[in-house]
Structures are given as C-alpha cells and as structure tokens.
Amino acid sequence: MSILVDEQTRLLVQGITGNEGSFHTQRCIEYGTKVVAGVTPGKGGSRVLGVPVFDNVERAVAETEANASIIFVPPAFATDAILEAVDAGLPLIVCITEGIPVLDMVKVHSYLKGKQARLVGPNCPGVISPGKCKVGLMVGEIHLPGNVGVISRSGTLTYDVVAQLSELGIGQSTCVGIGGDALPGSTFVDILRLFEADKDTKAIVLIGEIGGTLEQEAAEFIKNEMTKPVVAFVAGSTAPPGKRMGHAGAIITGTAGKASEKIKALSAGGATIAPNPAEIGLTMQKVLDSSRSFRM
Amino acid sequence: MGQYGIPVPRGRVASTPAEAREIATELGAKVVIKAQIHAGGRGKADGIKIVNSPEEAEIAASELIGTRLVTHQTGPEGVPVSKVLVEKASDVERELYLSILIDGAKRLPLMMASEAGGMEIEEVAQASPEKIFKAYIDLAVGFQPYQGRKLAYGMNLSGDQLREAVSLMGKLYELFIAKDCSLAEINPLVTTAAGRLIALDAKLNFDDNALFRHKDIQELQDKEQEEPLEAQARELGINNYVKMDGNIGCMVNGAGLAMALNDLISGCGGSAANFLDIGTVNNIDRAVNSFRMFAADSRVKAVLVNIFGGMARVDVIARGIVKAYQQLDIRFPVVIRLAGTNVDEGKRILVQSGISFIGAEDFYDGAHKAVETARGIIS
C-alpha cells in the first residue's frame, strides 16, 4: 500500500498545454502514471502527448473517470482551477502553482470545509508512490519503493533526502510535498494521520522549516497519536529572524517560528531529530535498525 | 488608512526642514515629526520627535532628513531617512493596540486588540497574555459588530468610544481585505482628552503574492529603504535573496534546500554570505545574475552552487554558470554540486567548457569543501 496515489490513480492535468504542464505530464507518463485527461479552457477536443484535452474539469471527469488532478495554472487563475476540481468531485487535488495570494487560499480553505476533496499544495512538488505513480515534479529515478513515508514543506531538499534514503537502500512508501506556502491544503498532521493508518509505512521522515506552527502541531500529533517512529529535520536554523515574517505575525507563532523552537517541540513529541540535513538518511537508518532489534 | 475612514492625525509629509516648518505653522502648536522608513521601532530609536514650535520642527526635521536610522528592525546599517511626516500632536489619554493578520492554524483573518498599546505586542503576549483579545473573521460573512464589541470591551472602552472603536475595526478589516494585507497594525491606537480615537501610528504589510493586483502598492516600493545587495538582487530578477553575515556565496534551487545548505555550512564551521534561491524557472540569465551578485559582494571568499534538478534542469543551470565565467571576472573559487534532472548533461557542459571549479559529490561534501575553500585550505 501507499497513500494518496497508486496504480488506481487516473490523473487529470489542469494546464496541460502550458510549458511546465506538458513537460511534467510527459515525465509522469514516462514514470508510469495513468494520465487520462488534460484541461485547458478553449483547447477542448485536441490531444497533447496522446492525452485528450477538455474545456472543463467536469466534462473530463465524466468522460475519463479521472480521480485525481494536478494543477499547473498561473497564480492569478489557480484558485479558480482548484475550486473547479473540488466541484467536479475529484478526491485528490495537487496544486503545483507558486504565488497564490494568501487571502485566496483562505477562501479555498473555507470552501473545502465539509467536502471530500483533499488538496495538497499549493507551491509544492507533488506526491509520488515509488514504482506506482508520480503526480508531481520530482525526479522519478531517485526514488525506491519501500516502507518509509516522507512529508516535507520543501521541494528540492526533499529530493536530496530521498536520494540519501535510496542510497542507503531505504525505500519510500509515498513522498508528499505539502508545499512552502503559509496555508497549505494538507498539513503535516493530515499526512501523518494517513501514514499512521497505512500498513506498508513503517516509519516517517518529516522535513519542516521556519515560520508558522505546522511543526508544533505535528509534534502534538506524534506525541498523542503516532505509534510509528518519526525522524525530523527543520531547515532554517541560521535564517535571520524577521526577514520574511511580518512583525505581528510573530505574536501567534511568537518565538515558535524559529527552527530551534520547532526542533524542541518535535523532539519533545518523540521524533528523532537529524543532526544536519546531510544525515537525515543515516538517522532514519539508525531508527530502523533499533526498532528492528527491539522487535526481536 | 485615511482613505478608508480610519481617523489619523492631521499632517503631511515633508522632504526638507523648511517644508516641515511650513507644515508645522499650518497645523499650529505642538507637532510630531516622524521619520518615514519602512520599518518599525522608530520611537525607541529617536526617529519620532515631539516639538512645540515651527522653529523646533525645522530643527527636528533637519536632524532626521539625510541621516540613517537604526532600529531593532532595520539591521545595523539602518535605513536612510529622506522624508518626515509632520503631524498635529494628539492629547493622548490611553494607548491601545489593534491589528489584523492571517492566522496559520485556523486559516482565517485574526483581529487582535489590547489595552496595552504603545509597546511591542510580543512583549505583551509574554508578560500578560490575558490582555490580548482575539476574534477570528469568517470571509463569507466578514467582520461582525459583536466581535468588535467583544474586543472593545476587552480594551476597556465604553459608550461612544466603544461604538467608534467597532466602526474603526470594520474599516480596518475592509482595508485589510481590499489591499491584500498580511498585517494591518495600529499601535498605538489612542484615546484623546476630547474622547476621540485616533490611529497614532500604524504598519501595513502586504502579501507579495498579491502585488500583481495592486499597482498602487507596487508604487510604494522604495529601493532606498532596502538593503543594497537585496535591492540589487531584485533588480537582477532574483527575488529570493537575503544578505547574511558570512563569506560563502550560495546559489541553490529551492528555499528549503537553500536554508538547509546555510545550516550545513554553519555546521561545518563556516558561514554563508547570503541565502539565494534561484527558483524553478529554467533561465540561464538567473544563474549568470547570481554570479553577478557574488562578484558585487566584496565579502565573498568562495561560492557554493548546489542544484538538485526537478522542475529546474541541471543542464540549463550549467550553461548559466559557464556563461557567467565568460561574461564576468570570477576571482573566487567555486564549488559545484549538481544532481537531479539532466545531471549528466549538466556535468558534461561544465567539464567541456574548461572552466575551473571544484566538484562536490553530495550536499555535505559541497558544504565542507566550500568552508575549507573560503578559509584558503583548499583551492
């Protein structure tokens, strides 16, 4: 098993005719993902990379039974694309787009309440279940099928971590990039919950970064509800304070936005902290070894 | 704020001391001279002066205009003061606090009010959190008067002042939404001897992602207020550049990887000169311009390039690096680590170009070599 995407995934690409959309659609197809439809308003009836293109998502879903969407649409139109996918009843929506205004995401979140759709992203590299299905930008070759789940706010740092794991022979069940925006569709807690319930995931790598309180929420969840080991790293220990975050934004998160505070919380929650970003794979190896010997 | 009907002190901006004197004469009696900078903490840094006559206004303005103001939010170099705001002084009775921001956990706008205004709200949150009152606002229904009353009671207002405060909160929310703010903060919001409420000082932060729909806010951008290297980077199309304290220039794709790399450099005993995320756009000039930044930064003793291709293609970045060597006078050693999409092609381009660089196997190797190189141990 794995979470979110697998051999049953029938992918629809919103913005398939754009540069990035078509480039990555091709990579997903090469990886083995079943891409069943594309949507670009005004280009319905054509084909891109052998994939039929529709004018809207509803029609595409009706004709192809797509059950997941990936969005490559410019920020000014991305909210519309997300809402269209939600309305068409797609259970999984992965939004790659970077630069969506925060207030637009507040609206999206309030619209998502009570609906079935799960949004991953925006501003994320997507989701991959190695050997099964890739719905995102990540380099397929660095992944190895296996039993470690990966969740991250970062894109390229995740690639590095996955490469570290694969190099050590530690395969991944699913890797989820939740994205670097302030209001991600899925949080660490949302994905941790899925991994905890997935019988093929034995351990989880969590990669956080400065700002917000997602890591602290994850720490609480790990403490109270996780039985599987979690290895964590938080990027930005050397980041100067106040550079990106608004002044009063710091009141809720307060010092909580700092890497040191997040690391403290995750550690207290029971996660094993990787000493540096180059040793996340090694840290996971040690955790797996000790849990193995424990079981014997 | 004035445009949205929020009461602000009467006054105008002056670019010269003479102009400040003129405005002070118009306003009469006591005035306040405020340095106009894009940072907070002015009060403690002597950036705000209260004077009793037009003559004193002129002197106070001359002491501010043309200087650099250093506050706890500006960094040690400070920022230049080219203008001052001359305002009629208010007869302050109480100093309150009011702000709106987006709460990440609830994913909603959050309005906060406190009767402990005039000081850093972080300090209030630590010392007396019970003095901070909160209301989450649902976008569909907007700010509601009952929420305003709750916050106003929390600030110990009553009668006309309570009604005025609720109306002011509604206007601040309207402004927050209309201009895509990430923070709208009035501190202090004061009550005057005459019983009025006035926004004596305020700070608005805007969502960078929403600037495309706000031409008027884009125009408020003031290059002089930015850190010079950061301003230069932005002009070169590198939006994610932050100056740091060290001597290793870093070029990375992806913000998380860039932060992690800086952490790793620190762990290896070195220090990064900057945070630089070239982003995911496949643009040769972005790489060339990154090197232009390193060449412009006299502190840089070594450069570390760490690219893990995904959306960004390694071969494109490699072409950019080669072009940078051709166009610029590169005098610092360069450590390069490449991985990911089209990595073999990228490495081939670098090697065939004949440029001199130090190759790194992985993340750690790159950081380690960059630190040693910057120290002059390897070259």
Q: Is A46 exposed, middle or buried (0-12, 13-18, 19+ CB in 10 A)?
A: middle
A239, B259 contact by CB (below 8 A): yes
Is there a common fold for B92-218 and B227-374? no
Q: Is residue A282 less than 8 Å (CB to CB) from chain B?
A: no
Contact A148, A165 (CB under 8 A): yes
> What is the strand order of the sheet A118-120 is part of?
A47-48, A51-54, A34-39, A10-14, A68-71, A92-95, A118-120
Query: Is 70 exceeded by the pLDDT of residue B22?
Result: yes
A142 interaction partners in chain B (CB closer than 8 Å)? 340
Q: Dump the DSSP string for A183-249.
A: S-SS-HHHHHHHHHH-TT--EEEEEEESSSSHHHHHHHHHHHH--S-EEEEEE-TTPPTTSSS-TTH
What is the pLDDT at residue B341?
80
Instruction: Kindly provide the residue ranges of all beta strands, DSSP E only, lying in chain A, ordered along the sequence.
Output: 10-14, 34-39, 47-48, 51-54, 68-71, 92-95, 118-120, 126-129, 133-136, 145-152, 172-177, 203-209, 230-235, 272-273
Lowest mean pLDDT among A248-262, B59-73, B89-103: A248-262
Q: Which of B126, B210, B257 sits opposite A101 (nearest CB)?
A: B210
Q: What residue segments make up the domains of chain B, in order of their start?
A: 9-88, 92-218, 227-374
Residues of A in contact with B119 (CB under 8 A): none
Element (H, E) at B238: none
**pLDDT, position A71:** 98
Q: Does A99 touch chain B (CB under 8 A)?
A: yes
Q: Which long-range contacts (CB under 8 A, 24 or more apart) does B265-268 make?
A: B265/A238, B265/B304, B265/B367, B265/B370, B265/B371, B266/A237, B266/A238, B267/A275, B267/A276, B267/B367, B268/B364, B268/B367, B268/B368, B268/B370, B268/B371
Residue A229 CA to residue A208 CA, distance in Å, equals: 16
- Residue B379: pLDDT band by 50, 70, 90 thresholds? low
B374: left (phi over 0), alpha (psi -120 to 50) or beta: alpha
For residue B281, what pLDDT is reported? Answer: 67
Structure tokens at B29: 């009696």
Give the residues of chain A that fall short of pLDDT 50: 245-253, 296
How many whole angstroms separate alpha carbon B152 and alpha carbon B158? 8
Q: Is A50 helix (H, G, I), strand (E, B) or coil?
A: coil
Residue A215 in tokens: 């890591």
The string of pLDDT tens digits covering residues B27-47 is 987 999 999 988 777 878 888
Q: Do A160 and B339 lie within an 8 Å CB cutoff?
A: yes
Please, are residues B20 and B40 in contact by the beta-carbon 8 Å criterion? no
State how far residue B26 is from chain A, nearest Cα, in angstroms.
34
Please give the residue that has the higher pLDDT: either B186 or B39. B186
- Kindly name the residue from B58, B87, B95, B185 that is annotated as catalytic: B185
Class for domain A10-120, per CATH?
A: alpha beta
Contacts of B102 in chain A (CB under 8 A): 102-103, 106, 182-183, 249
Considering the segment(s) B92-218 as one domain, its CATH architecture is 2-Layer Sandwich (3.30)
DSSP H/E element including B365? helix B363-374
Task: Name the token pair of B89.
Answer: 């002084």
Spatial CB neighbours of B318, under 8 Å, sequence gap ≥ 6: B338, B345, B346, B347, B349, B350
Residue identified by tokens 């110990």 is B156
What is the Cα–Cα distance from A118 to B15, expressed in whole angstroms? 53
> What are B184's strand-pairing partners?
B100, B204
The beta-carbon neighbor of A207 closest among B205, B256, B264 is B256
Q: Test A235 with B139 for CB contact under 8 angstroms.
A: no
Q: Mind listing the pLDDT tens digit for each residue in A124-135?
A: 999 999 999 999
CATH for A126-295 is 3.40.50.261
CB atoms inside a 10 Å sphere around CB A62 = 12
**Residue A80 sits at the chain B interface (C-beta within 8 Å):** no
| Closest CA in chain B for residue A234 | B260
The pairing of strands A203-209 and A230-235 is: parallel
Contact B256 A142 (CB under 8 A): no
Please give the model's pTM, rounded to 2 decimal places.
0.90
Task: Looking at the complex, report in whole angstroms how far the Cα of residue B341 sits from the nearest Cα belonging to chain A.
Answer: 6
Q: A197-201, B240-244, B311-315 — which is least confidently predicted?
A: B311-315
Query: Does A241 contact chain B (CB < 8 Å)?
Result: no
Q: What are phi and psi of A12, to 5 degrees?
A: -115, 135
Is A137 an 8 Å CB contact of chain B?
Answer: yes
The helix (H) or strand (E) run that includes residue A21 is helix A19-31
Residues 6+ apart with CB under 8 A from A113: none
pLDDT band at B301 (very low <50, low <70, confident <90, very high): very high
Identify the helix (H) or strand (E) that includes residue B239. none
Contact B124, B131 (CB under 8 A): yes
B207 residue type, one letter: D
CB atoms A101 and B209 under 8 Å:
yes
Judged by CB atoms closer than 8 Å, whether chains meet at A235 and B107 is answered as: no
Choosing among 1.25.40.10, 3.30.1490.20, 3.30.465.10, 1.10.287.610, the CATH entry for B9-88 is 3.30.1490.20
User: How many whole angstroms separate alpha carbon B354 and alpha carbon B111?
Assistant: 59
Q: What percent of chain B stands above pLDDT 70? A: 99
Torsion angle defined by CA atoms of residues A23, A25, A31 and A32, in that order, rounded to the nearest 10 degrees: -150
Chain A residues closer than 8 Å to B98 by CB: none
Assess contact for B98 and B169: CB atoms under 8 A: yes
| Superfamily of segment(s) B227-374 | Succinyl-CoA synthetase domains (3.40.50.261)
Provide mean pLDDT across the span B235-252: 90
Chain B interface test: which of A22, A247, A258 (most B C-beta within 10 Å): A247
Predicted local confidence at residue A248, as pLDDT: 27
Which of A26, A27, A102, A111 has the highest number of chain B CBs within 10 A, making it the mutation to test binding with B?
A: A102
Domain ranges for chain A: 10-120, 126-295
